[in-house]
Structure 1
Amino acid sequence: MDATRGIGTFVVWDYVVFAGMLLISAAIGIYYAFAGGGQQTSKDFLMGGRRMTAVPVALSLTASFMSAVTVLGTPSEVYRFGAIFSIFAITYFFVVTISAEVFLPVFYKLGITSTYEYLELRFNKVVRLCGTVLFIVQTILYTGIVIYAPALALNQVTGFDLWGAVVATGVVCTFYCTLGGLKAVIWTDVFQVGIMVAGFASVIIQATVIQGGISTILNDCSKGGRLNFWNFDPNPLQRHTFWTIIIGGTFTWTSIYGVNQSQVQRYISCKSRFQAKMSLYINLLGLWAILACSVLCGLALYSRYRDCDPWTAKKVSAPDQLMPYLVLDILQDFPGLPGLFVACAYSGTLSTVSSSINALAAVTVEDLIKPHFRSLSERSLSWISQGMSVLFGALCIGMAALASLMGALLQAALSIFGMVGGPLLGLFALGILVPFANSIGALVGLMAGFAVSLWVGIGAQLYPPLPERTMPLSLETSGCNSTYNVTNWVTTTEMPFSTSAFQVHNVGSHSMCFKNLNQADLHPTEFPGHGSADKATGWDYFLGIAARNSVFQDLTAGCCKPLPVFPSQSDSQWSSPADSPAIPGGKIGMGIPKK
């Protein structure tokens, strides 16, 4: 780095690029508000008329999965802990395969809109209501935080207006979700994936040029111990090992791809089961591409600051601010490119928030409104769905505002996402994989799993892991006092390094996504949410199979047909799932005796 070179600031062109991304996203919503006759029915609004194809859905799945916290957090994770993070590529393969071959066939064949409809078909109304309420609380908390945290990180480094970004993000998301429904969300995600790739590419290319080539970056990282791809240490208490990433990561991400409404709603909107499966497998390529980009950015970060770590030198107040700092350092001579990276980060935010708003509207209409107001017309349900989008958009913006006041409570609120994901995965897996489980066992398992997750999460806040467990790699500041002019190596933007701001933003300081929370010694991995998911899923299984019953074959995975050894009644007494509530006129329950 040039000893006299300072960190740049945002200029007009950067704001123009960012505003352009928001305007195009809004324009897509306007287009789908009128294209093809608009949103005439709730099916059109919530499911795109079930006419979507594999490629756009695949890109939407990728965009929704990769939030702005991923864009900012993953490179800093690699910077601090090394490239072992790239092993998640193997985890993604297992997650996508399990989702496509176990969960998707069941959900798609039933023709449901909300995944929680399955819980009533398989168990009963109480289990469905519990799942619905947990999802709504989980998603509102997370969505508000995912709007606020990246905005704070970017504000502290770039001076980008904090509340302007928060309000603009929330309003634009709500606008195109409300007007265009799922089609607008999916096609906006397609556009935003392009922005994310372009933002990453601009950083990788320029960093490679400045550092003297990719070989120099890799050589620097090798000397610094960052190319630690393989660590087969069997100790489950270590932060990153091959086993914690593969086993813990598979449980964690299957709770997203396999059963989370935001993801499931997309792939079951495809016009055929083949298209739905293809969307998941094509999405795997997108996940690998984004992971590769973020890991390369992390390696470039280390190569650039190997002798003068901005975080240790207190140039930034949290690790998630390292990427914006790098962008203003290496792209300051290219007006508009820093804005492109901010657009990249906010594309991740927009895609995640829009997915959440649409999913919240779907769950509310299908699980809480339709069962009690069966006489509502499809047109009325469409209008109600749009109203729900506005309501949840406003709630998410409000949650983002509340996040700024929560301080240390924010991390506890964010922990709820991981606490809920594991029990819900266990609940759905119990229903799909264990044909003889019934509603009592499922409900007890869900509550027990949530209690265990709550215990783990609270323990993580009270007893954070010791450094020898997280094992961060060494960071140097020797170059700050010799090679580099420290007084010039600061941003000219006023940076609000208040204690409260640091505490709020630092919720994800370990992290690559919303689940990156310390679980202390209570869970088997030192990586976010893995322990909660593992334990909760196990408790659901252990307690859920205590009561046995026979169910429709279409409510279980193909590999787990009902076992004739344990049925409460003969299998021949039960009717086809065609009589289920997924088909008009059907009834609800474990099965309907033939008349």
Structure 2
Amino acid sequence: MDTSSISTFHTADYALFGLSLAISVGVGIFYAIKDRNKADTEEVFLGGRKMSVIPVALSLLASFQSAISIIGIPAEVYFRNTMYLLFVLSSPLAIFCCNYIYIPIFYNLKITSAFEYLSLRFHISLRTATSVLYSIQMLLYMSVVLYAPSLALSAVTVLPLWPVVATVGVVCIFYTTIGGMKAVVWTDTFQMLVIFAGLLAVLIQGSLVTGGLANAWTIASDHGRIKFNEISGDPTVRHSIWSLIIGGAFTNMAVYGTNQAQVQRACACPTLTKARVAYWLNVPGLMISVLLYVLIGVVMFAYYVDRDPLESGRIAAPDQTLPIFVMDILGNYHGVPGLFVACLFSGALSTISSGLNAMAAVTLQDVVRPHIAPNMSQTTATWVARGLAVGLGVICLALTYVASWMGSIIQTVLSFFGAIGGPIMGVFTLGIFFPCANSYGAFAGLISSLGLSVWILIGAKVTKTPLTLPSDNSTFANLTTVSPPADTFTNPLLPLYQLSYQYYSLLSVVVCIIVGLLVSAVTCFKQRHPPGSDLIFPYRSVLNPCLPKGHRLRKKEEYQFETVSQMDDESSNVDNCTAAKNT
């Protein structure tokens, strides 16, 4: 890489970046002092279930608006096209499903860990297995979230890589540990504002230096970067209308519906209605975020249309395009590059803090308390929770170092994030929608869908098919297309390996449900006990207006669960298979 591209940070840039970290630390200290007499895990993990709608909404939005999104989506537009913008159409559908299917179940159970549902619905061993799987998923993901932006920035600025990584990591661990959920939510709120400020600064200046946004759009269109008409139904097409809307909806549902970091925020609201409002506010937030990313990619292409920094050797990888663009157009405005760095690391901080708090919750609630110390007091549990946050943070930092010398493993790690999230969503969906499903089927569905996802990932890697998988709601572009070797074209499984990454969550959910129901049928749908009404989607309540008048529920509520007696009556058919066999 051409070292002349390295830019120098001004004192104002360092000051602005440092100020953003200091504010995050200050928020943590504030809530540590304010809640010092509240030795309660509900305060640490759920903010006492009294969090306000707006900060929860911004925290939900910030949790998976990582630096990977900020770097990856503009690079996606720069090197490919604007098809990814259609991903925003999947968010209303996904949020609707989360608000009326998944979140009411978790919220009304008054649980801390989403995986507690699995022990109530199936078996405690399934709860433990999925919570451990989730923690592995988040640890791998967070290590990349922290390392990727640091690596990109170190290549185009004089900021030292490991001191930056260590500083950001320690700051995040500190305020997450001492401040709990309240600190995480309020720092996420601040960090989301910083992200929007940084993105707007880049877009405005980028539009000015390219002769206006309309001119930049025209230049990008003339070179084939403006595209919204890919309507192919072929599931191997990377980005089509169908994959971005339908597949994207399942990708978003895996994040907002069954990911502990998001469920935890919904359960932190004082009422279900407020939790739904916080979720609905994410729809315009997601749309605006993706629109800003795409427009930045457009102006970035217009600026470099005849002087690609990757071809010229100014940068070594596609994910360094946005950082070098910022230094080129804003390097002379002291403090503004620092704002962008703060924007980039705010994305990392919000993701890591949310992940640490969520992993501490599931580790305590799903592993420590059920299997190690079931009689632990609230005071002890609070200190254990904080210790877990520190320990998991240290592991994350260690994995960040490992990621630095494993090269292409970064793409693989991000691929596994999507491969694990889909099966976890699948097992929750199986339990919520199908009262006949039992623990045998749930285990089989989880293992089979996870195995298929991993198999496809390995197969795609071996056959060297072009593959980009989701790290969150975005894309981390592996922008070098590699054609498969000639002998792999005869492989009958090649189309499966070339499946668009947008369909991975959908495929995992479908496989988990089908296998789960088949195995449940083979085991005669036998369960330890009939599932309670609060564990199953309330079909009768939802369909109440369509039922004959004499069969409608008498009491009308916003979201009414069927009574236990009604559900028990319906559950009397659970062992019909066994009864028939005995007869």
Same fold flag (TM > 0.5): yes
Asked if the contact 2:87/2:245 (under 8 Å) is kept, the reply is: yes
Q: Hey, what's the Cα distance between the residues in 2 that align with 1:185 and 1:163?
A: 24
**2:336 aligned with 1:310:** no
The 5 A counterparts of 1:30-109 are 30-37=29-36, 39-109=38-108
Task: Judge which range, 443-452 or 372-381, deviates more.
Answer: 372-381
- Give unmatched runs, 5+ long, in structure 2: 485-493, 544-563, 570-583
Distance 2:475 2:181 in 1: 24
Tell me if 1:374 matches 2:374: yes
> Normalised by the size of structure 1, how large is the TM-score?
0.84
For residues 290 and 162 of structure 1, the distance between their equivalents in structure 2, rounded to whole angstroms, comes to 27
Which amino acid counterpart does residue 539 of structure 1 have in structure 2? V
Instruction: Work out the CA distance in 2 between the residues paired with 1:81 and 1:512.
Output: 15
Aligned twin of 1:542: 514
The match for 1:433 is 433
SS of residue in 2 equivalent to 1:306: coil
User: How far did 1:534 drift?
Assistant: 2.5
Aligned to 1:584: none
Amino acid at match of 1:125: I
In structure 1, distance between residues paired with 2:305 and 2:127? 52
Seen in structure 2, the aligned counterparts of structure 1 residues 101 and 508 have a Cα distance that, compared at 3 Å, is: closer
Give the CA deviation at 1:453: 0.6
1:573 and 1:270, CA in 2 relative to 1: closer, same or farther beyond 3 A? closer
Q: Which residue of 2 aligns with 1:556?
A: 536
Do the aligned residues in 1 keep the contact of 2:64 with 2:472 (CA within 8 Å)? no
1: CA distance, partners of 2:344 / 2:284: 20
Q: Which residue of 2 aligns with 1:500?
A: none
Q: CA deviation at 1:91?
A: 1.1
Q: Identity over the aligned pairs, expressed in percent?
A: 39
Partners of 1:408 and 1:194 in 2: CA distance? 32
Alignment of 1:583-594 (within 5 A): none
> In the alignment, which residue of structure 2 is the partner of 1:117?
116
- Residues 423/337 of structure 1: CA separation in 2 closer, same or farther (3 Å cut): same
Check conservation: 1:248, 1:525, Cα contact below 8 A: no
Is the CA contact (8 Å cut-off) linking 2:6 and 2:156 kept in structure 1? Answer: no
Partners of 2:89 and 2:497 lie apart in 1 by 19
Task: Name 1:489's counterpart in structure 2.
Answer: none
Secondary structure of the residue aligned to 1:61 is: helix
| Cα RMSD, aligned residues only | 2.7
CA distance in 2, matches of 1:515, 1:279: 30
Change (3 A) 1:524 1:284: farther
Note if contact 1:412-1:458 (Cα within 8 Å) is conserved in structure 2: no
How far did 1:509 drift?
12
In the alignment, what sits opposite 1:151? 150
Q: Which amino acid aligns with 2:80?
A: F
5 Å matches for 1:465-480?
465=465
Return the letter of the residue paired with 1:540.
Answer: C
Q: Aligned pair in 2 of structure 1 residues 512, 562: CA closer, same or farther (>3 Å)?
A: closer
* Range moving further from structure 2, 180-189 or 398-407: 398-407
Deviations 1:478-529 (A, max 9, x none): xxxxxxxxxxxxxxxxxxxxxxxxxxxxx9999934697999945487543x
Corresponding residue for 2:551? none
What is aligned with 1:512? 474
Aligned equivalents of 2:514, 2:540: Cα separation in 1: 17
Residues 152-183 of structure 1 show CA distances to partners (whole Å, capped at 9, x for unaligned) of 01111223211011101110110000110000
* Cα 1:511–1:179 shift into 2, 3 Å: closer
> Is the Cα contact below 8 Å between 1:67 and 1:513 reproduced in 2?
no
Counterpart of 2:242? 243
Match of 1:460 in 2: 460
Q: Contact 1:77–1:511 (CA<8 Å) still a contact in 2?
A: no
1:455 & 1:119 partners in 2: Cα distance?
25
Question: How far is the alpha carbon of 1:337 from its aligned partner?
Answer: 0.4
1:359 corresponds to which residue? 358
Whole-angstrom distance in 2 between the partners of 1:428 and 1:278:
23
Aligned-partner SS, 2:277: helix
Q: Cα gap change, 1:562/1:274 in structure 2, threshold over 3 Å: closer, same or farther? A: closer
The letter of the residue matching 2:532 is F
Q: TM-score, normalised by structure 2?
A: 0.86
Local SS of the residue matching 1:233? coil
| Alignment match, 2:259 | 260
Preserved CA contact (<8 Å) 2:465 2:497: no
Deviation larger for 122-131 or 220-229: 220-229
Q: Do the aligned residues in 2 keep the contact of 1:38 with 1:180 (CA within 8 Å)?
A: no
Deviation at 1:86, TM superposition (A): 0.8
Per-residue Cα deviation, 1:444-502 (whole angstroms, up to 9, x for no partner): 01110111011011112112335xx99xxxxxxxxxxxxxxxxxxxxxxxxxxxxxxxx
Task: Output one character per residue of 1:221-260: Cα deviation in whole Å (capped at 9) or x when no partner.
Answer: 2212222122111121111110111122122221111101
Contact 1:236 1:524 in 2 (8 A): no
Paired with 2:532 and 2:541, the residues of 1 have a C-alpha distance of 9
Structure 1 residue 559: Cα displacement: 2.9
CA contact (8 A) 1:45 1:182 kept: yes
| Alpha-carbon distance in structure 2 between the residues aligned to 1:371 and 1:561 | 34
Give the letter for the 1:512 counterpart.
S
SS at match of 2:405: helix
Which amino acid counterpart does residue 463 of structure 1 have in structure 2? Answer: T
Instruction: Using the TM superposition, give the Cα deviation of residue 96 of structure 1 relative to its aligned residue in structure 2, in angstroms.
Output: 1.2
Encode CA deviations 1:529-573: one digit per residue, 9 max, x unaligned. x3432222111111111223642221122237899xxxxxxx859
The CA deviation string for residues 268-310 of structure 1, in whole angstroms up to 9 with x for no partner, is 1100000100010012221112111111111111111111211
AA at the equivalent of 1:426: G
Relative to structure 1, the CA distance from residue 510 to residue 464 in structure 2 (aligned partners, 3 Å threshold; closer, same or farther) is farther
**Cα distance, 1:527–1:236 mapped onto 2, change above 3 Å:** closer
User: How many Å apart are 1:417 and its aligned residue?
Assistant: 1.3
CA contact (8 A) 1:7 1:329 kept: no
User: CA separation in 2, counterparts of 1:230 and 1:293?
Assistant: 20
For 2:286 and 2:514, locate their aligned partners in 1 and report how far apart those are by CA, in whole Å.
33
Q: Distance in 2 between matches of 1:404 and 1:512?
A: 22
**2:179 aligned with 1:211:** no
Matches within 5 A, 1:316-355: 316-355=315-354
- State whether residues 436 and 562 of structure 1, in contact with CA within 8 Å, keep that contact through their aligned partners in structure 2: no
- Indicate the SS of the match to 2:115: helix
Name the aligned partner's letter for residue 412 of structure 1: T
- Residue of structure 2 in register with 1:581 after alignment: none
Unmatched runs of 5 consecutive residues or more in structure 1: 471-506, 564-570, 577-595
Separation of aligned partners in 1, 2:347 and 2:414: 18
State whether structure 2 residue 208 is matched by structure 1 residue 179.
Answer: no
The aligned amino acid for 1:406 is M
Q: Does the C-alpha gap of structure 1 residues 300 and 562 become closer, same or farther in structure 2, counting only changes over 3 Å? A: closer
Distance (Å, rounded) in 1 between the aligned partners of 2:341 and 2:369: 40
